[in-house]
Structure 1
Amino acid sequence: MKVKIERYSGFCFGVENAIRLTEEALKSEEEIFCLGHIVHNEAEVKRLEDLGLKTINHDEFRTLRNSKVVIRAHGEPPETYAIARENNIEIIEATCPIVKKIHKKIRKHYEKTGTEVQNLIYGKKEHAEVVGLLGQTEGNSILISGLEDVIQINFNKPAEIFSQTTKSRGKYAEVINEIKKGYEKEGHDPEKMLEVNNTICGQVANREPGLKKFCSEHDVIVFVSGKNSSNGRMLYGVCSKINTAAYFISDISEIEESWFDHASTVGVCGATSTPRWLIKKVAGRIEMIPGKKK
C-alpha cells in the first residue's frame, strides 16, 4: 500500500508567521498569552502550550495588566487594541497580512460612506476572523453566512461585500449572485449597486483544483484537520465530493485500519491550519498498516 502526502498541505504563510512569532516570544522568560487558540488545531495548540504559551479568552484578556499577548493570524477588532493600550498590554502582532489589508479596506470604505452604503461580510458566524472584520465598522455591518441571510439586505440601497479569507470561492459566488437577483427584482442594476471585493485568500482558493486532482488519484483519502477549522471543513468537502472514501480525522488515534482493507494507494492531506508534522505522523501510522486483503 502506497501512502502519499499532498504537496501543499500544511500551514499557510499567515499561520506559519504567527507560529514563528509565538515561538520566538516563548524563548524569553516572560509569560506569554495568546488571545484565543493560536490556530484551529488541537495538536499544535497543545505543542505550544507545552512550551509555555497560555491561551486566554476575551474576558480574561480584559483583566490582564502589563502583559504580553499574541494576536493570532485571524486578527482582532479595534476594541481589542484599545483595551491593550488602556491596560499596558504589549501586543505581539501576528495578524495575517492579508487579513490586515482587508481590515484597512473595510475601515476606509466605512469612513468614506458611513451607513449610506451597506457593508456586507460573508463568513461563518462567530468565527474569529469574522469577528475582526465586523468590528471594523463599529457594528454597522451585515453578516451573511448563507443564502438565507440575504433577506437582511435593503435592495434599494447600495452595498459593498467582503469575504472571510478561508471561504469557498464557489459559495461566495452563489451568495453574490443571490444578492444581484435581489437588486434586479427591485429594478436596479446590480453592477452599479453592489461592489464585490475578492478577499478570499489565493493560497486557500488555489488549493481546490490541486486537491481535487490529488483525491481522484488515490483509493482512500485521509484528511487531517482540527474539528473547529472552517478552512478544514471547506477543504474536506472538496475531498469528499471527489472521493467517497475520504475520512476526516483530527488525531492519529482516530485512524481505523478497516478503511484501507481494499486500498492500493492512500492520499493524506490537510487544512491550512494543520501542522506538517502531524500530517507526516498520520502518513507514518498508515504505512504501518498491513497491505490490502485479497
Structure 2
Amino acid sequence: MLDLKVHIDTNSGFCFGVVYAIEMAEDILNEDGHLYCLGDIVHNDEEVKRLVNKGLKIIDHRQLKNLEGEKVLIRAHGEPPSTYELAIKNNLTLVDASCPVVLKLQNRIKNSFDKKDKIYIYGKHGHAEVEGLLGQTANEAIVFQDIAELDLENMPERITLFSQTTKNTDKFYEINRILMDRGITVQTNDTICRQVSNRDKELRIFAASYDKIVFVSGSKSSNGKALYEVCRQKNPNTHFVSHPDQIEKNWFSKGDAVGVCGATSTPMWLMEDVRNTLLRY
C-alpha cells in the first residue's frame, strides 16, 4: 500500500452555468425520458455518457435542421440568433440553458453592433460561445485568440473590445493596454466570468500544497487545458486524466500527499472516483 493522502479541491468542478444546464436536462429526462441537446452539454465525455444513458441525444446544427416538433436543449455556451429562428420554423421547443453571464454578454454585443461599433472579441476561434457571440453581429465582429493576429497598423482608430467569458483576465487587460499604447481608442468591456477566472489563482495555491496533482478534465475542454497548465507550472508533478483508468500507480511514492482538481466542466463525482482509485493503491 502506498498510503496516499488524497484531497479534492473544493473549488473545482462545475461552474454555476453548467450546473444549471445539467439540472435542467435531468429534470426533463426524468419526465420525458429523452431530450435533444445541441452539442455536448459539457466538455466532459464521462458526464456526457452518463446523461446519454438517461436519454440525452446529442445533435449538431446539421441534424437540427431536419428535426421537427421536439424539445432541444441550448447548453450553457449559448447560441446565435439563427438557431432560434430555425426553432420557430421547425416547431421546436427550445429549452434555453444558456449561462446568464453569456446571455448578458450577447446582449451587450448586440447593442454595440446596433450602434455600428467596430467590435473585436478576444476568444477562441470556432468555440461554441464565440459562435453565439459572432451571431449577434451578423458574423461581422473580429475574433482573435492572440494579439499577434491583429494588424495593429491598419486597425480602426476606435474599437469596442469584448472577451469570451472564460478567457484569462490578466491577458485581456494586457491586450487592452497594448492596443491603447498603439493609439487606438478602446471601449473596454470586461465580460470575463469571475467564477471561472478566479480558478486560476485558487489552483496555483492548491497545486503548490501537494506532492503530486491529478488534474481531471475532458480532452475537449479549453478551460481544462488552460487550468492544467496553471497547475503544471506551479507543480511539475501534475498529471492529466480524463478517467480513473488512466491513472498510473508509478506516478506516486509511499505517503505522498495528492491533490485532485479539475476544470469547470469536470463533475465532482468523477473527481471522487479518481480519489477512490488513488486510495486503493
Same fold (TM over 0.5): yes
Mapping of residues 46-195 of structure 1, within 5 Å: 46-112=49-115, 114=116, 117-151=117-151, 154-182=154-182, 184=183, 190=184, 193-195=185-187
1:30 to partner: Cα distance: 5.7
Mapping of residues 242-261 of structure 1, within 5 Å: 242-261=234-253
* Alignment pair present for 1:16 and 2:5: no
1:126 to partner: Cα distance: 0.6
1:137 is matched by which residue type in structure 2?
T
Structure 1 residue runs of 5 or longer lacking an equivalent are 185-189, 290-294
Counterpart Cα distance in 2 of 1:281 and 1:194: 47
RMSD: 1.4
Q: Secondary structure at the match of 2:202?
A: helix
Q: Secondary structure at the match of 2:270?
A: helix
CA 1:243–1:263 in structure 2 vs 1: closer, same or farther (change >3 Å)? farther
**Bigger mean CA deviation after superposition, 260-269 or 8-17:** 260-269
* Alignment pair present for 1:35 and 2:27: no
Counterpart Cα distance in 2 of 1:287 and 1:253: 14
| 1:211 aligned to which of 189, 203, 215 | 203
Identity %: 44
Q: Secondary structure at the match of 2:251?
A: helix
| 2:192 aligned to which of 180, 193, 200 | 200
| 1:280 aligned to which of 264, 272, 277 | 272
Counterpart Cα distance in 1 of 2:153 and 2:5: 51
TM-score normalized by the length of structure 2: 0.95
2:199 is matched by which residue type in structure 1?
R
1:52 to partner: Cα distance: 0.4
Please list the CA deviations of residues 198-225 of structure 1 after superposition, one character each: whole Å capped at 9, or x if unmatched: 1111101122222111111101011101
Retained in 1: the 8 A contact 2:123–2:164? yes
Retained in 2: the 8 A contact 1:219–1:263? no
Q: Secondary structure at the match of 2:21?
A: helix
**Aligned residue pair count:** 278
1:91 to partner: Cα distance: 0.2
Retained in 2: the 8 A contact 1:36–1:57? yes
1:262 to partner: Cα distance: 5.7
Please list the CA deviations of residues 239-263 of structure 1 after superposition, one character each: whole Å capped at 9, or x if unmatched: 1110000111111111011111266
TM-score normalized by the length of structure 1: 0.91
1:119 is matched by which residue type in structure 2?
I
Retained in 1: the 8 A contact 2:33–2:55? no
Retained in 1: the 8 A contact 2:33–2:54? no
Retained in 2: the 8 A contact 1:118–1:141? yes
1:53 is matched by which residue type in structure 2?
L
Counterpart Cα distance in 2 of 1:237 and 1:95: 27
Q: Secondary structure at the match of 1:274?
A: coil
Counterpart Cα distance in 2 of 1:231 and 1:156: 31
CA 1:202–1:153 in structure 2 vs 1: closer, same or farther (change >3 Å)? farther
Counterpart Cα distance in 2 of 1:233 and 1:25: 31
Counterpart Cα distance in 2 of 1:263 and 1:204: 32
CA 1:132–1:153 in structure 2 vs 1: closer, same or farther (change >3 Å)? farther
